[in-house]
Amino acid sequence: MSDYKDQVLEALTNCSQERLNAAMENPSMMRELLEICATELAACIGPSIGDPVQRAKRPLNGFMAFRTYYLKLFPDTQQKDASGFLTQLWATDPNRNKWALIAKVYSFTRDHVGKAKCNLNPFLSVACPMMKIVEPSEYFGLFGWQVSHDSFGNMVLVQDLAVMANTMPPLENLEHPTTEIDLLTDILVAGYFSEYSQHLQVLMWTSQNGIMAPAGTFVNDAIGEQLYEPVPTTSEKTDFIESVCNNACEAAQALFGPDYDAQFFQSRFVHSWEVDDLTSFQGVQISIADEPLPTNTLYDFNQLPENVPQVSELTIDTSIDADIMEITSAWSVDKITFDRLNRQR
């Protein structure tokens, strides 16, 4: 590989600037060049890359992308009921890793070109077909969902898992991008974000491979930032944690307001509650669960507990002085615990 790389670098050195620019403006060619000489390209292009635009407070997660794409399945349903149905669909959706990949590429692109130039709905209309995501009009039929009604006349969804089992084999054999850089490249090849294509590919590549940025900052830290911003110790945070310890239902009631129904919440298939006003969330961490990264699709959820570092911070009594983490994702917890163990060493 080293000899081949030297040959490529020599060819690039002897290439005219016009031909070199044309090659680098081709996202597919740029992708191949990054495979061979990413460090040199980062050093060349990096100094011209400005700071990213002001970023959104939170990256998009897979469920929110899924929810946005399939909301049209319930055009005549109230928002609250539609959200419940979508969480039910999400619970058995077989493409959650694909949605995680789509969400990560969207968040990355939006943070560097701006939300005004990277609207979610148009982005999904481009990325989802590339990822072989099932069209909304075909979703119910392919995955065995049927609309029914309970004894009170309320709409309910019922799934025949046998139908989905028959559907999955041919869907799994469809070719699609399997990494963030592959999906980004396909989107750029289709003609989107052409004025940013070189910079986006270099930034994406360096963030995935840990290359040193020209300015001296480690790109993997700068671009692949944590999903959750640490919440400093404040009196509000301390009071809230104490209220959760004393009476979790009352703490939730105070947080969500008078419309919060604890009994209804506990009976939901997926525990989520929609609010219109977030002003009462001052000093409280709002986290979005992350999905397993595309490189961890074969994550071993059955690994022995003794193989994972034990971290005492996963208790509410010690969480006041600790960063809040999302503990609903096994991959996320293990990554954090291993990272902390490595830092201690």
Query: Is there a single domain that holds both residue 79 and residue 116?
Result: yes
Helix (H, G, I), strand (E, B), or coil: what is residue 339? helix
Q: State the pLDDT at residue 309.
A: 47
What confidence category does residue 110 fall into, taking pLDDT thresholds of 50, 70 and 90?
A: very high
Query: Is there a single domain that holds both residue 139 and residue 263?
Result: no
Q: Which of 178, 209, 231 is the last residue of a domain?
A: 231
Q: State the pLDDT at residue 79.
A: 80
Query: Is there a single domain that holds both residue 212 and residue 74?
Result: yes
Query: Is there a single domain that holds both residue 156 and residue 19?
Result: yes
- Look up residue 91 and give its amino acid: A
Q: What angle do CA 260, 261, 262 make, to 5 degrees?
A: 110
Q: Which residues, including other chains, have CB under 8 Å from residue 53's CB and lie 6 or more apart?
A: 111, 112, 113, 114
Q: Which of 145, 130, 128 is nearest to 69 (CA)?
A: 128
Q: Which of 188, 209, 231 is the last residue of a domain?
A: 231
Q: Which of 208-217, 234-243, 290-299 has the highest mean pLDDT?
A: 234-243
Rounded average pLDDT over 243-269: 75
When divided into structural domains, the chain yields a total of 2
For tokens 């039910």, the residue is 88
Please state, in angstroms and rounded to a whole number, the distance separating the CA atoms of residues 210 and 224. Answer: 10
Q: State the pLDDT at residue 333.
A: 57
Q: Which of 231, 261, 288 is the last residue of a domain?
A: 231
Helix (H) or strand (E) holding 155: strand 155-159
For tokens 């635009």, the residue is 53
Q: State the pLDDT at residue 263.
A: 76
Query: Is there a single domain that holds both residue 66 and residue 207?
Result: yes
Q: What is the pLDDT of residues 111-137, one digit of tens each?
A: 888 888 899 999 999 999 999 999 999
Q: Is residue 89 scored above 70 in pLDDT?
A: yes
Query: Is there a single domain that holds both residue 203 and residue 326?
Result: no
| Helical residues (DSSP H) of the chain, grouped into ranges | 2-14, 17-24, 27-45, 62-70, 79-92, 96-113, 120-130, 136-142, 161-172, 180-189, 197-209, 219-222, 235-246, 248-256, 262-267, 330-344
Taking the model in full, what pTM does it have? 0.57
Q: Is residue 294 scored above 50 in pLDDT?
A: no
Query: Is there a single domain that holds both residue 294 and residue 149?
Result: no
When mean pLDDT is compared across 41-50, 67-76, 219-228, 261-270, the lowest value belongs to 219-228
Mean pLDDT of the chain: 72
Please state, in angstroms and rounded to a whole number, the distance separating the CA atoms of residues 332 and 307. Answer: 15
Helix (H) or strand (E) holding 159: strand 155-159
When mean pLDDT is compared across 4-8, 55-59, 154-158, 278-282, the lowest value belongs to 278-282
Query: Is there a single domain that holds both residue 262 and residue 145?
Result: no
Query: Is there a single domain that holds both residue 123 and residue 218?
Result: yes
Contact 218, 210 (CB under 8 A): yes
Query: Is there a single domain that holds both residue 225 and residue 292?
Result: no
Domain of residue 210, residue span: 1-231
What confidence category does residue 288 fall into, taking pLDDT thresholds of 50, 70 and 90?
A: very low
Please state, in angstroms and rounded to a whole number, the distance separating the CA atoms of residues 162 and 168. Answer: 10
Query: Is there a single domain that holds both residue 297 and residue 326?
Result: yes
Q: Is residue 174 scored above 60 in pLDDT?
A: yes
Q: Is residue 286 scored above 60 in pLDDT?
A: no
Q: How many residues does the chain have?
A: 345
Rounded average pLDDT over 303-312: 50
Please state, in angstroms and rounded to a whole number, the distance separating the CA atoms of residues 27 and 29. Answer: 5
Query: Is there a single domain that holds both residue 45 and residue 178?
Result: yes
Q: Which of 11-15, 129-133, 147-151, 239-243 has the highest mean pLDDT?
A: 129-133
Q: Is residue 36 scored above 80 in pLDDT?
A: no
Contact 299, 292 (CB under 8 A): yes
